[in-house]
């Protein structure tokens, strides 16, 4: 059974890898997107922001509506839509059509990740669930360490459409892996829609959501324009930029592994420490960002902390409503993608008004806000301190 569960989690990570190539891979190629569609970099950023906004809107709705359907079929549906969206992006020269080709897959995106996190957690004991979820997050980080830099290299050396070909192939591989290796996963018991929606009556849930929004804004608001800063602010070559993105993504994987262990041992201290750790890294980037070697070191440390941020964000939201894992995972996706939208939009505003070198401002401001909401939940809802081991109950699902 352990081997079967490991295979299942590995396949879920492959699916996460495929989707993240389409979602976040766009961040690394915004300068090439702008050139391809003859628009500004800040306008090209809407391919990231719109995707995130659609996910934010659909994330609490789609997992809720699909919570009673066979989980394998839903994941195949999502990956199939992503393949088609990437194919459209390959052949269009119209920016509006490109936006639509991003928006439609984004609508289905939450269903996959909500199910992936729920199934991964349910495949192991409650005590080990943060580690299982962290393994799925490795698929996200692998999308950055492998997918995003490869897409950046392809876009810079060949063309933007060829980068979309890469995304389409990756999603197709994930589709085939789930089709062949993942068994049917019917849902035997499901909470009513009303029972799941009732968690929204808790103020703690809303404080957790707000903290998560600004956690992701602090991370992605800076990362979205990182390649642009390296290109225009530091005048680095595309090959060096690709190496930087590889370093960041590889460090993300380390951060996922570390976060899984830290959340299992003491989740509350891990959450409280996160804003200070990321803030220290951003100070390093601000002070030494013009120097190549310190930038490599700072990028590596940033990648570790940012990689842990996704796990922390997911825990903080889902632990506020553990009895409705699919819906609360949908809320996590909503808050995370609202953070992407807020961070990307704010970063674009700072760059357009002040210049590329001010892209770190969105990170500092978001960290202050996320720390405020983390402390509000921590001090106002003292019973949550009893959940410090990071455990929460999820529906046990027979998958094999």
For the stretch 69-108, pLDDT in tens is: 888 889 899 999 999 999 998 988 899 999 999 999 998 9
- Binned at pLDDT 50, 70 and 90, residue 339 comes out as confident
Residue 147 has pLDDT above 70, yes or no: yes
| Nearest partner of 344 among 242, 247, 226, judged by Cα | 226
DSSP 8-state secondary structure symbol assigned to residue 184:
P
Question: What CATH number has the domain spanning 2-185+192-387?
Answer: 1.20.1250.20
Confidence grade of residue 42 (pLDDT, cut at 50, 70, 90): confident
Q: What percent of the chain has pLDDT above 90?
A: 16
Domain ranges of the chain: 2-185+192-387
- Placement of tokens 């892209």 in the chain: 359
Q: How far apart are CA 114 and CA 395, in angstroms?
A: 13
pLDDT of residue 369: 93
- Collect all residues with Cβ–Cβ distance below 8 Å to 201 and sequence separation of at least 6: none
Given this model, what pLDDT does residue 132 score?
83
CA–CA separation, 144 and 190 (whole Å): 34
Q: Answer yes or no: is pLDDT of 400 > 70.
A: no
Check residue 190 and give its pLDDT. Answer: 67
Whole-number pLDDT of residue 331 = 86
Predicted pLDDT of residue 3: 66
Does the pLDDT value for residue 293 go beyond 50?
yes
Whether the predicted pLDDT of 325 surpasses 90 = no
* CB contact at 8 A, 327 and 321: yes
Contact 58, 110 (CB under 8 A): yes
């Amino acid at each position: 059974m352990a081997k079967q569960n490991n295979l299942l989690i590995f396949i879920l990570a492959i699916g996460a890898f495929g989707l993240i190539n389409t979602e976040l891979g766009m961040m690394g190629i915004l300068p090439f997107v702008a050139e391809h569609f003859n628009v500004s970099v800040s306008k090209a950023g809407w391919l990231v922001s719109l995707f995130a906004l659609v996910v934010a809107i659909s994330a609490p709705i789609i997992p809720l509506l699909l919570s009673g359907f066979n989980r394998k079929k839903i994941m195949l549906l999502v990956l199939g839509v992503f393949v088609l969206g990437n194919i459209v992006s390959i052949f269009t020269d119209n920016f509006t059509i490109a936006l639509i080709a991003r928006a439609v897959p984004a609508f289905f995106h939450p269903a996959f990740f909500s199910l992936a996190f729920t199934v991964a957690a349910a495949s192991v004991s409650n005590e080990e669930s943060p580690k299982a979820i962290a393994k799925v997050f490795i698929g996200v980080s692998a999308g950055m360490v492998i997918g995003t830099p490869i897409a950046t290299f392809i876009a810079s050396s060949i063309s933007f459409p060829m980068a979309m070909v890469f995304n389409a192939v990756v999603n197709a591989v994930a589709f085939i892996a789930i089709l062949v290796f993942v068994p049917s996963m019917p849902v035997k018991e499901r909470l009513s829609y009303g029972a799941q929606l009732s968690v929204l009556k808790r103020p703690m849930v809303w404080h957790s959501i707000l903290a998560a929004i600004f956690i992701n804004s602090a991370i992605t608001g800076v990362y979205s324009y990182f390649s642009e800063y390296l290109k225009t602010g530091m005048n680095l070559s595309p090959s060096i930029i690709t190496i930087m993105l590889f370093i960041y993504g590889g460090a993300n994987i380390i951060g996922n592994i570390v976060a899984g262990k830290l959340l299992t041992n003491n989740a509350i201290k891990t959450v409280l420490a996160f804003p200070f750790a990321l803030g220290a890294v951003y100070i390093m980037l601000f002070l030494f960002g013009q120097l190549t070697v310190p930038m490599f070191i700072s990028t590596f440390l940033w990648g570790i902390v940012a990689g842990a941020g996704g796990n922390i964000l997911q825990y903080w939201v889902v632990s506020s409503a553990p009895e409705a894992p699919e819906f609360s995972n949908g809320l996590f996706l909503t808050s995370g993608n609202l953070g992407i939208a807020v961070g990307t939009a704010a970063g674009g505003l700072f760059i357009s008004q002040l210049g590329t070198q001010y892209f770190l401002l969105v990170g500092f401001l978001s960290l202050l806000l996320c720390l405020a909401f983390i402390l509000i939940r921590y001090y106002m809802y003292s019973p949550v301190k009893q959940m410090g081991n990071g455990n929460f109950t999820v529906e046990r699902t027979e998958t094999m």
